[in-house]
Amino acid sequence: MRNLPDTAKINKQNHLEIGGCDTVKLAQEFGTPLYVLDEKTIRNRCQGYLKSFKKYYPNTAVVYACKALCTAGVLKVVTSEGLGLDVSSGGEIFTALKSGCDPKKIYFHGNNKSKDELKMALKAGIGRIVVDNLQELENLDEATKQTNTSAQILLRINPGIEAHTHEYIKTGTIDSKFGVPQNEIDNAVKLARKKKLIRLVGFHAHIGSQIFDVKPFVDEAKLLLSLTLKYKTEEMSLGGGFGVSYLTSDEPPSLDLIAKEISQVLKNKTMAKLVLEPGRSIVGNAGVTLYTVGAVKNIPGIRKYLFVDGGMSDNPRPILYQAKYDAKIANKANDKPGEKVTVAGRFCESGDVLIRDIKLAEANVGDILAVLCTGAYNYSMASNYNRVGRPAMVMVGGGSATLILSRESYEDLVRNDAVL
């Protein structure tokens, strides 16, 4: 199934298996909730991007958008596949450097980078600063002088392109906090070119996230091509945003098709380097979250709830974006889905519902529920609501599981309580 990790299987015990590991055993060994990441799926996606794009447009670089899931264990895997990293904060820069990423392959984003973050990036020799607005150009100019460094920049522009996705994750329309509006580009280029320690390498745009249409990417490529030709620049970044399957009914276009259509715009018209910044589509389908069913509450004629031991703090996407998820009872993986249930979390909000009205195999207390496609924007947006520690994360592959993130302890939770 397209919303499961590539290595997912059902074993002889009727258990869901990922990366050769029985998920029920993982739950026993590491406890729940547990984020499980399939290494093979992540590697396959990285290789898929490089292969598809290089086939049609050899001068392509792929940088992984860390915001989707930023832990050293993941960054080491994606960089070992040859990807660079897109970071958007000092914390992500710090994690990227600690993980051993070549600073030259890092792209630093954000609409309000602090002066300290800019200096940190310059001192570390970060490859590209993606300048979001004119104030930032001035801040960067000041930071290069103060640190006695120089900066290679991409100018982020607002492409004004409508992509069909959720309002909150749409970024490229006119009314957006991101990017230089098109009527200011000329001025921004002139200003950038006057700065002695700043070199304008090219342009960047990002049109949104979880996008299934190829056309907005093609339009974006046309716009970036026209700027590249007009200003004779060397690099263009299309950002990320390629969609994934949360549900089996979600059918994103193939990477091959996206690569083909985008490269058709560029081929024979420019030699500029093409940069892509996928996040969700690298890690999304690699992840599954395991929960234990703690109680079943039946309200006759109304609804049957399964209560799980996590919820909106480890996966805030349903409550934030009304995101829909699919799930399986991991210890009854092949049982026919029968009854309709609603999976509710443990947090003190009625809205803490992970999945409304899903048909699952009959569930009982103690069963392990696997929620699918939780690799992206789950851990990276997790909170400590109700002072619940964030779950552990394991990377699975070849029949073994490696703990890549420890479960937060009570001590972790009070670590910053300055009065204790």
Question: Which residues are part of the catalytic machinery?
Answer: 348
For ligand LLP, the binding residue among 15, 43, 280, 346 (CB under 6 A) is: 280
The 3-state secondary structure of the chain reads: CCCCCCCCEECCCCCEEECCEEHHHHHHHHCCCEEEEEHHHHHHHHHHHHHHHHHHCCCEEEEEEHHHCCCHHHHHHHHHCCCEEEECCHHHHHHHHHCCCCHHHEEECCCCCCHHHHHHHHHHCCCEEEECCHHHHHHHHHHHHHHCCCEEEEEEECCCCCCCCCHHHECCCCCCCCCECHHHHHHHHHHHHHCCCEEEEEEECCCECCECCCHHHHHHHHHHHHHHHHHCCCEEECCCCECCCCCCCCCCCCHHHHHHHHHHHHCCCCCCEEEECCCHHHHHHHEEEEEEEEEEEEECCCEEEEEECCCCCCCCHHHHHCCCCCEEEHHHCCCCCCEEEEEECCCCCCCCEEEEEEEECCCCCCCEEEEECCCCCCHHHCCCHHHCCCCEEEEEECCEEEEEECCCCHHHHHCCCCCC
Q: Is 68 in the site for ligand LLP (CB under 6 A)?
A: yes
Q: Is 136 in the site for ligand LLP (CB under 6 A)?
A: no
Q: Is 389 in the site for ligand LLP (CB under 6 A)?
A: no
Which residue from 179, 239, 252, 310 is in contact with ligand LLP, where contact means CB under 6 A? 239
Name beta bridge partners: 329.
369
Q: To which residue do tokens 């860390």 refer?
A: 66
Q: Nearest approach, Cβ of 284 to ligand LLP (angstroms)? A: 8
Nearer to ligand LLP, 19 or 278 (CB): 278
Q: Of 208 and 292, which CB lies nearer to ligand LLP in the complex structure? A: 208
Identify whether the C-beta of residue 103 lies closer than 8 Å to the C-beta of residue 73. Answer: no
Binding of residue 278 to ligand LLP (CB under 6 A) = yes
Q: By CB under 6 A, tell whether 218 contacts ligand LLP.
A: no
Q: Is residue 65 within the footprint of ligand LLP (CB under 6 A)?
A: yes
Of the candidates 7, 23, 281, 331, which one interacts with ligand LLP according to CB under 6 A?
A: 281
Min. distance of Cβ 156 from ligand LLP in angstroms? 8
The residue (of 137 and 341) whose beta carbon lies closer to ligand LLP is 137
Name the residue type at position 123: K
Q: Residue 79, interface with ligand LLP (CB under 6 A)?
A: no
**Near ligand LLP by CB under 6 A: residue from 35, 203, 217, 377:** 377
Identify which of residues 205 and 392 has a Cβ nearer to ligand LLP in the complex. 205
Residue 54 Cβ vs ligand LLP, minimum distance, rounded to whole Å: 19
Picking from 64, 55, 66, 134, the residue whose alpha carbon sits closest to that of residue 94 is 66
Out of 169, 214, 296, 403, point to the residue binding ligand LLP (CB under 6 A). Answer: 169
The correct pick among 279, 311, 345, 397 for binding ligand LLP (CB under 6 A) is 279
Contacts of 353 (CB under 8 A, 6+ apart): 318, 319, 342, 343, 344, 345
Complex with ligand LLP: residue 15 or 109, whichever CB lies closer: 109
Task: Count the site residues for ligand LLP by CB under 6 A.
Answer: 22
Least spacing, CB of residue 193 vs ligand LLP, in Å: 23
The answer for residues whose C-beta is within 8 angstroms of residue 56's C-beta and 6 or more apart is: 259, 260, 262, 263, 264, 267
- By CB under 6 A, the residues from 316 to 335 that bind ligand LLP are 317, 321
| Binding test (CB under 6 A) with ligand LLP, winner from 15, 43, 109, 195 | 109
Q: In whole angstroms, give the CA distance from residue 150 to residue 143.
A: 9
Which CB atom, from 128 or from 317, has the smaller least distance to ligand LLP? 317
Give min distance, CB of 379 to ligand LLP, in A: 11
Site stretch for ligand LLP (CB under 6 A), options 98-106, 195-203, 272-280, 299-307:
272-280
Find the shortest distance in angstroms from Cβ 171 to ligand LLP: 6
**Among positions 22, 38, 277, 352, the unique one binding ligand LLP when judged by CB under 6 A:** 277
Closest to ligand LLP by CB, 160 vs 279, is: 279
202 is an interface residue for ligand LLP by CB under 6 A: no
206 binds ligand LLP (CB under 6 A): yes
Least CB distance to ligand LLP at residue 281 (A): 6
User: How near is the Cβ of 318 to ligand LLP at its closest, in Å?
Assistant: 10
Distance separating alpha carbons of residues 164 and 170, to the nearest angstrom: 8
- For binding to ligand LLP (CB under 6 A), which residues are involved? 65, 67-68, 86, 109, 169, 206, 209-210, 239-242, 277-281, 317, 321, 377, 381
